[in-house]
Structure 1
Amino acid sequence: MSETIVYRRKRAKHPFGVAEAGKITMLSTDERDEKIIVYERRKHKKKQLNVLDENARIRTLSPDKRQDARMKTLSTDKQHEKIVVYKRRNTRMQLKDLPEAGRNTIIATDERHEKAPTNERYDKVIDYERGMLRKTELTDLPEEILGSIVSRFPLRDAVRTSILSTKLRRIWTCHPDLNFTSWAMFPENKIKGTEQMKLDLIQGMLSVLKQHRGSGVKRIVLRALLDQRTSSAINTCVRFAVTSRAKSLSLLLSPERPYCFPTYLFDTRDESKSVLEELYLKFVSLRIPPGFTGFTHLKRLDLFSVYDIVADELQDLLKNCLLLERLCLFMLKFEKLVISESLSHLRFLSLTGCHEVKRIEISAANLERFEFGGTNDTKVVFTQPLQKVRYASIQCGNFDSRVGEFVLRVLPRSIPGVQTLVWKTEGIEMDALPNCLGRFQSLKTVQVDLYATRGPYAGDVLSFAALLDAAPLLESFFLKLIGFVNHPYSGIEEFRRLPNSPHHHLKFVGIQDFTCSRDQIELVEYIVENAIALKNMIIKTSTECYRDAAINSPYMRKDERMQIM
């Protein structure tokens, strides 16, 4: 490269000095530090512009012409099409001052070095104003990512995003979770009366269903005090669930005039075959027509206070739900129910509040969780031992001989692998315990909720010691006493003592609402004497027991007793 040495003017003073200026002018153009120091000849007042190199030429232009000189570009050796902009020190280049090509030039990646067209989107745009990459806005993201973000919003917030941009106006119409409830669709400070809220809810639901694309729907929930008088709006919601191929449908309506569920919409002969996997109905009238096979994909069925369905219709419905994994029946009116072997996928079975049922037969071999709540007249028959059941919950009336026979003799041989047993019962009769007890070979946790009743057999807590003896591997025992009146032990009657039966695995014992009665103290004494491995025992007294003990305490002053009373 040819070098141009320019001598310092006679009266000109340079801040770097003559020697420093000479060093800078001797450097090549590529090594200069964006500072071209030009010295004029001692004899000539003006230096010809064409003698200087490119960098010096730009720096020596007048301020009026310097703006145009900034726009000039120099091509690099590798032809990366980078825009090289020379600017003065401490001067910020504005984006609007750059040429159109400079605005749309992208930083080349390792694999591709080309200039993007003006009308395309760019991964990285040079922001000349800040000297850094421009920040990506939310609307620049692909629709798939935006849809995933908006789908995590509640329905009301997802709809409100439509005012942000035209693109988001289309995104929310694919929301997968349609929750039509008053607290989900309206703010708390705008909830009005019942009738007005019904009208607003129906209007909002119909508006959402009309604008929704009808694809990608996973769950539809309608929870409102609607009945048969608003069946047209409810039918629209159910029909949308069928046409959109929703996976879950929940209808929780009003019990005043039960809504008639339209099973004809789920007829498999229709082209829009339903793929419904979860169905939850509450306060709904349900009738199953003969030969109905509309719920062949159903995996979860919850019927809560469903009206008009009879035992034969319910049985036909279950025969066609071969993929059923969860079945919950609450407060239904039928006399007999058969859970056959064809329900091989059934894992969870809950039958509670069905007080008119007389007989229940269970043959589901893969059942893992069983919950039953009914009267003492209901007979539960296990046609074969269910080896996979790990959790069982039994809720019945008084602890009489029939309940004792079922819990302490039938269950040990019917569900031998159960590990957790929850037993909810009322008063205990004297002859409730069977003569020969079964053995829970795998039972580790027992929870007993005992409800107090009136009468001579209000309860004898010591009877639950037999349950401890029936579970040799028991580790945790919890007893909750509900509604017991405080009758503390007077000290006159003698304690009853049961034969010693060591428990080598019982470690944790908890008793809640302890009232200090004789039978409760006897049970505690039995556990302390026989639980060899006991680590922790927690006894919580009731509020009344604490109050009576405090009032009768000789160490409490009279004014303190009055505050407690």
Structure 2
Amino acid sequence: MELDRISDMPSDVRVKISSSLPIRDAVRTSVLSTNWRYISAMLPHLVFYAHSISTLPQKFANAVDHVLLSHIGPVYKFKLAPKHICVRDFDRWILYVSRNSIKEFILEILGQPYYKLPSSMFLCRDLTHLELHKCLLQPPSTFTGFKSLKTLKIVWVRLTGDALQNMIAHCPLLERLVVEDCDDFNQLNINAPSLQVLRFIGGFKYINLLNTSNIVDVYIELYQFACKSSNLLRFFAQLPNIHRLCMKAKFTKYLADSCLPLEKLPKPCSPLQFLSLRIGTDYDKDILLCILRMCPALEELEVFASNYKAIGGKVNSWVDEHHSCSNTQLGRVKIHCSFPEVDGALELIRFLLLSSPALETMTLCTTALHPFVSYNLATKLLGLWRASLNLEMILNDNVLLFPKYNYGTSFYDDVMSVF
């Protein structure tokens, strides 16, 4: 008889192969041979998608029950993504995994009412990764925290600000926190000494970061806020080691509701290397300039300048007002703007070109332009003075060739080489 190499593979290899398959196909491997019969029953990672099993609630529940009843050994990862829910089924499954050394739990409720997590969920002491979608989160009074949790992601979760604050405070090893589209918080207090990545999408009136000196990556997309005072200095003081900062929607306005005097700027924030923000008014422009002055080590800048309107209907000159600003480490710039706001963006481009001697790449992404309009815009870009002699200018994926010298009157040949 020929050697059956598939069946003679070591059991750990067979488990690894089955773990990479959808749960339905992994169960089907039990018919290959006697050596494969119980492999699917030992899978440590169980992932159940409605589209990969059945969109019918009863069939989906039966499939999950069959796998859990025949399972042997611990369950380290358990993920559910059903289209319909039955509270009794969910409570039973969560109770089962809470007794099986669960480390990663992901629950994505799709298109159904909010599901209230049972108390057994808070008994998973070994959790390192927790994701909840469209749930009602109310930790019991006896909850002492997830002592091993490193990643917490909640999306469309109903909870109070105090509940989130207490949960974070009781997760001493938390490194990554994601809060998206949850109920608006009056005051968002985050006390997490091990936190490194913070992502927040939603609304709050006030954010306070306590004992968060290890945060290096922040993404905040703020829909609404009520605070009327400047928060720029306090925000950067709470993040002394930040490397990446992305500010979307109204968060730029939250940092400074009015112009911030340059003489009040704090000591330089040396670690910041990447900055992404949206410019909507001159106040946003002032925030960008303040951050550029505060962050001498900034290497990459992304600006969304769509709908940029200056106060009073006039675009102020970036260069004339801030000619002394120098971005010595800035190497890559990307600017997004629609065609009507190109003139406002040109002032920003001119400022960055003159103040960035190490600039290597500048990319301007605009809406689809008529070839004649593109030619005129390219001519303006190539006519701008620049501090860097090793600069590549890109306009909508087209590389513009600067003239040999840093000045000139005729760019026709260079522009026509692109268009």
- TM exceeds 0.5? yes
Residue 279 in structure 1 maps to residue 127 in structure 2: no
**Is residue 450 of structure 1 aligned with residue 305 of structure 2?**
yes
Contact 1:503 1:533 (8 Å CA) reproduced? no
User: How far apart in 2 are the matches of 1:138 and 1:499?
Assistant: 61
In the other structure, the counterpart of 1:319 is: 169
Report the equivalent of 2:82. 224
**Residue 357 of structure 1, aligned match among 205, 212, 218:** 205
**Which has the higher Rg, Structure 1 or Structure 2?**
1
Where does structure 2 lack aligned partners over 5 or more consecutive residues?
Answer: 344-348, 399-419
Deviation at 1:150, TM superposition (A): 2.3
Structure 1 counterpart of 2:38: 170
Counterpart contact for 1:408–1:467, Cα < 8 Å: no
Deviation at 1:285, TM superposition (A): 0.7
Superposition TM-score, scaled by structure 2 size = 0.76
CA distance in 2, matches of 1:212, 1:539: 57
- The 1:409/1:302 distance shift into structure 2, 3 A limit, reads farther
Greater displacement, 201-210 / 457-466: 457-466
Q: TM-score, normalised by structure 1?
A: 0.58
Residue 369 (structure 1) aligned with residue 227 (structure 2): no
Taking only the aligned residue pairs, the percentage that are identical comes to 21
- Where do residues 39-438 of structure 1 align in structure 2 (5 Å cutoff)? 135-185=3-53, 197-215=56-74, 217-227=75-85, 230-254=86-110, 256-267=112-123, 274-307=125-158, 309-332=159-182, 333-340=184-191, 343-353=192-202, 355-374=203-222, 375=224, 377=226, 379=231, 381-382=234-235, 384=237, 386-397=239-250, 402=256, 413=267, 415-425=269-279, 427-429=280-282, 433=286, 437=290, 438=293
SS for the counterpart of 1:138 is coil
- Larger RCO (CA under 8 A, 6+ residues apart): 2
Residues 352 and 373 in structure 1, CA contact (< 8 A), matched pair in contact too: yes
In 1: Cα distance, 2:91 partner to 2:172 partner:
27
Q: 1:166 and 1:487, CA in 2 relative to 1: closer, same or farther beyond 3 A?
A: closer
Alignment of 1:480-491 (within 5 A): 480-481=336-337, 484=338, 486=340
Kept in 2: contact 1:303–1:330 (CA 8 A): yes
With over 3 angstroms needed to count, the CA separation of the structure-2 counterparts of 1:200 and 1:136, relative to structure 1, is closer
Q: CA deviation at 1:297?
A: 1.5
Asked if 1:535 corresponds to 2:391, the answer is: yes
Alpha-carbon contact 2:104-2:130 (below 8 Å) kept: yes
What residue identity is the alignment partner of 1:311? G
Counterpart CA distance in 2 for 1:257 and 1:432 is 42
TM-aligned CA deviation for residue 434 of structure 1: 6.5
Q: Structure 1, unaligned stretches of length 5 or more?
A: 1-126, 128-133, 187-195, 268-272, 490-495, 543-565
Question: Retained in 2: the 8 A contact 1:220–1:250?
Answer: yes
Deviation string, structure 1 residues 350-396 (Cα, Å, up to 9, x no partner): 1222x133233343111111111214645574484534321111113
- Once the two structures are superposed, residues 436-494 of structure 1 have per-residue CA deviations (whole angstroms, 9 ceiling, x without a partner) of 8333111000011233279987895975996994633211110012xx355888xxxxx
CA deviation string 1:190-246 (max 9, x = no partner): xxxxxx52332222112111111242x23211112234xx11111122122211212
Between the aligned partners of 1:383 and 1:294, the Cα distance in structure 2 is 29
CA distance in 1, matches of 2:301, 2:262: 13
Aligned mates of 1:347, 1:202 — CA distance in 2: 38
CA distance in 1 between partners of 2:323 and 2:251 (Å):
16
